[in-house]
């Protein structure tokens, strides 16, 4: 009994738990001198959680953004966290929730790969770190063709 409890604890604590999955990650290409762009993807959290932090080596600042109406104008703003309901994919896409990369250190060209680190806080406050490789798609891209 005791050893199986320990084993379960190790399994739950191990890096292989991967309760959250990211797919179809992409970043919109930039032109020279452009300082910000969006990153988009599908996130599925098996047990539910919240996306609480984002980082990328290509950007000085990375935030989770939502779109809101301010009068007649669509605007975006940073949010503290993004709710990930259990088992239900959350799609980040142009015009909706997205990750904002700001203070870009380099131009992002179509075909490049951008590393992103996502931190998801699960129930009981346990944090999961996801390393994501996002492909850079051309400026006019809307979503990856599958």
* Residue 41 touches Cu ion, criterion: CB under 5 A: no
Positions 89 through 108 that interact with Cu ion (CB under 5 A): 100
* Residue 28 touches Cu ion, criterion: CB under 5 A: no
Neighbours of 8 (CB within 10 A): 10
**SS3 label, residue 9:** helix
Task: Output 22 or 65, the one with its CB closest to Cu ion.
Answer: 65
Closest separation between CB of residue 111 and Cu ion, Å?
Answer: 23
38 neighbors 94 (Cβ within 8 angstroms): yes
- Would you put residue 33 in left (φ > 0), alpha (ψ -120 to 50) or beta? left
Task: Output 92 or 100, the one with its CB closest to Cu ion.
Answer: 100
Cα end-to-end distance, the chain, whole Å: 47
* Residue 65 touches Cu ion, criterion: CB under 5 A: yes
Positions 72 through 91 that interact with Cu ion (CB under 5 A): 76
Which residues are at the interface with Cu ion (CB under 5 A)? 65, 76, 100
């Amino acid at each position: 009994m005791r050893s199986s409890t320990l084993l379960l604890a190790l399994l739950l604590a191990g890096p292989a738990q991967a309760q959250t999955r990211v797919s179809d990650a992409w970043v919109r290409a930039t032109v020279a001198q452009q300082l910000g762009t969006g990153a988009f993807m599908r996130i599925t959290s098996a047990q539910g959680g919240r996306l609480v932090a984002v980082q990328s080596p290509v950007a000085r600042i990375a935030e989770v953004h939502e779109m809101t109406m301010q009068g007649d104008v669509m605007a975006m703003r940073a949010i503290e966290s993004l709710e990930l309901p259990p088992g239900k994919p959350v799609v980040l896409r142009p015009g909706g929730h997205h990750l904002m990369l700001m203070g870009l250190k380099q131009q992002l060209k179509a075909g490049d790969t951008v590393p992103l680190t996502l931190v998801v806080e699960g129930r009981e406050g346990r944090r999961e770190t996801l390393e994501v490789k996002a492909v850079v798609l051309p400026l006019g891209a809307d979503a990856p063709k599958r």
